[in-house]
Structure 1
């Protein structure tokens, strides 16, 4: 396992972190998974107040593991990050820090992140209502060591948050199949923020169950292997999350814990072929993700809709596309925007598109491809 400096926190984290959102089974399974991760060299454990019983499971597991004394596991060489909602007022936020410490059964958090800073309004609120000041006071009194934020927000928002100099690390989306946030990676590195990549296997394309078309295109590598290598070969990125729910789910990804060297010539060749294939298959319908089409009067997130179309058409990533497309109109600020069938043919986006795409037609085409089956309501 390799370790990298987590920006200005000066913590050296394993290049894979154990995310604990999926601990829905039992305390026994959670403890076994955490133990196995630590034995394999993972030293960063990430949880959140909003992850059900995750903090409780993690705290109970750590109490047991730290009490064994014979596994080389000590609190000083385990780094724990938790996330708190950005919707709390100052007194609630202060109390929530103490509650997280109590559930985790620790005296301090190595990292505390504001969870889901996805809009400018949310950021303005946590500043104006005193939550940032509470967090800064908690650093002074030793309850937390470092403050960061996690986000599903726009590139523009992420850059703004990085530039506030209020945070020491950022958790964000960035993958081979979603490189919109490349500028945020560059800015965070320039500002010496630790960089934590959220869910590269799942949000990065459901690459643990890739379609046969994509597997053939990435041969002799697997799609997930290439995504891990794309990320780990970038020395600016500190750590990637693994959301393992049981010990055996750690074995395969942790094989790449030492694979942090530059991309090989063969890996670069396969990645280049992926681009060429998409260009060939999509032809004049390929969206380049320039975002010039926004804003849309109907609040359709045109670039994201068309990104999902790119992936579905070029690589047959239909399952992933349907999974993400269903989130439109259902996930609020976590995945904003309306579905493609909301287009009214107003035409405002057309003159802004450098590729001169027929955007209304492509939006409807995406909807037809990715809408999936409509489920019956219980009262119907």
Structure 2
């Protein structure tokens, strides 16, 4: 396992971080999974108050010992932003109690997704007042934020200069947040990539067409390499439910060198496949079509269509598409079948896409049964 400096925290953490969301309600196997992660060299353990009993399970494991001194671990938990300091202070104390620790190395505001959340952060008497108090008395060492918000919102949150790290969605198949990575580097912030195997394309179980297109590499390690070859990125999350699911990181956990010519060629082939198979119907993700009067998340709908057609990533498309209108600000926007043919987006599209037709087509391809979110 290799390690990178986690921005201005000045701590060096493993290229992969252990996320505990899938521990949820099952403690059996959780400790074995944590022990294997530590044995592989992972020193960043990440949980959240909203992940069922995972804080409790992690706390018990810490008490029993994981084979690494507490001082060598970087322990992060996440708390949702609150409008007032008192609510946040209570939440901080609750997490410390559940974890059975005197301090956490990292506290991330969990889901800075909306304008309202940003106002709470910037308010003098908002949630950050309690966070600063906890930093002052040593209960929190460093503070960051996770986000499912728009690029503009993310950039503004980074620009507040209140954070040492950021948890981002950024993958080979979703590079919209590249400017956020650039700004985070300018601010000397650690960059933590959220769920690259799952949210990045359900790459644990890739379709055969995608596997052929990535040859001679497998899709998951190839896209891991895309991320790990970027020195601005500190760590990638992995969220196993059992020790065996950590096997997927083993071939790449010490591979943070620049991409080889063969890897570059394979990744370039994926873009060529999109251009070839989609032709004039390929959405290049410029986001000029927004805002939509019906609040349809047009770029994301069409991104999922791109992937379904070009790479047969239909299961992934249905998984993500099924979250529209069900996950609130965690996955904003409405489905493609909400289009009223108003035509508002058409003159703004530089590629002259027939957006209403493509939205309806995506609904037909991907609008099956919605998938339940893991913690519901």
After TM superposition, the score normalised by the length of structure 1 is: 0.95
For residues 107-164 of structure 1, the C-alpha deviation after alignment (integer angstroms, 9 at most, x for no partner) is 1000001000001111102433521111011111000000100000011111111111
User: Partners in 2 of 1:130 and 1:74 — Cα distance?
Assistant: 35
Question: Residue 27 of structure 1 contacts residue 61 of structure 1 at CA under 8 Å; is this kept in 2?
Answer: no
**Which residue of the partner structure matches residue 321 of structure 1?**
317
Structure 1: 4+ residue segments shifted above 6 A = none
Match of 1:294 among 267, 290, 297: 290
Structure 2 gap ranges (5+): 372-376
Match of 2:166 among 165, 170, 173: 170
Alignment: residue pair count: 370
User: Partners in 1 of 2:17 and 2:369 — Cα distance?
Assistant: 36
User: Partners in 1 of 2:126 and 2:210 — Cα distance?
Assistant: 48
Q: 1:127 to 1:374 in 2, by over 3 A?
A: closer
**Which residue of the partner structure matches residue 103 of structure 1?**
98
User: Partners in 2 of 1:350 and 1:95 — Cα distance?
Assistant: 49
User: Partners in 2 of 1:48 and 1:190 — Cα distance?
Assistant: 27
Residue 92 of structure 1: how far off its partner (Å):
1.9
Match of 1:80 among 72, 75, 94: 75
Q: Does 1:42 align with 2:42?
A: yes
Structure 1 gap ranges (5+): 376-380
Stretch moving more, 84-93 or 320-329: 84-93
Question: Residue 25 of structure 2 contacts residue 52 of structure 2 at CA under 8 Å; is this kept in 1?
Answer: no
Match of 2:335 among 336, 339, 346: 339
**Which residue of the partner structure matches residue 209 of structure 2?**
213
- Describe the SS at the equivalent of 2:167: strand
Question: Residue 305 of structure 1 contacts residue 363 of structure 1 at CA under 8 Å; is this kept in 2?
Answer: yes
Residue 28 of structure 1: how far off its partner (Å):
3.6
User: Partners in 2 of 1:374 and 1:174 — Cα distance?
Assistant: 23
Matches within 5 A, 1:224-373: 224-373=220-369
**Which residue of the partner structure matches residue 61 of structure 2?**
61
User: Partners in 2 of 1:93 and 1:235 — Cα distance?
Assistant: 34
Match of 2:89 among 94, 97, 118: 94
Question: Residue 308 of structure 1 contacts residue 325 of structure 1 at CA under 8 Å; is this kept in 2?
Answer: yes
Q: Does 1:29 align with 2:67?
A: no
Question: Residue 16 of structure 1 contacts residue 254 of structure 1 at CA under 8 Å; is this kept in 2?
Answer: no
User: Partners in 2 of 1:109 and 1:123 — Cα distance?
Assistant: 23
After TM superposition, the score normalised by the length of structure 2 is: 0.96
Question: Residue 18 of structure 1 contacts residue 242 of structure 1 at CA under 8 Å; is this kept in 2?
Answer: yes
**Which residue of the partner structure matches residue 112 of structure 1?**
107
For residues 254-290 of structure 1, the C-alpha deviation after alignment (integer angstroms, 9 at most, x for no partner) is 3311010100000001111111111000000000100
**Which residue of the partner structure matches residue 17 of structure 1?**
17
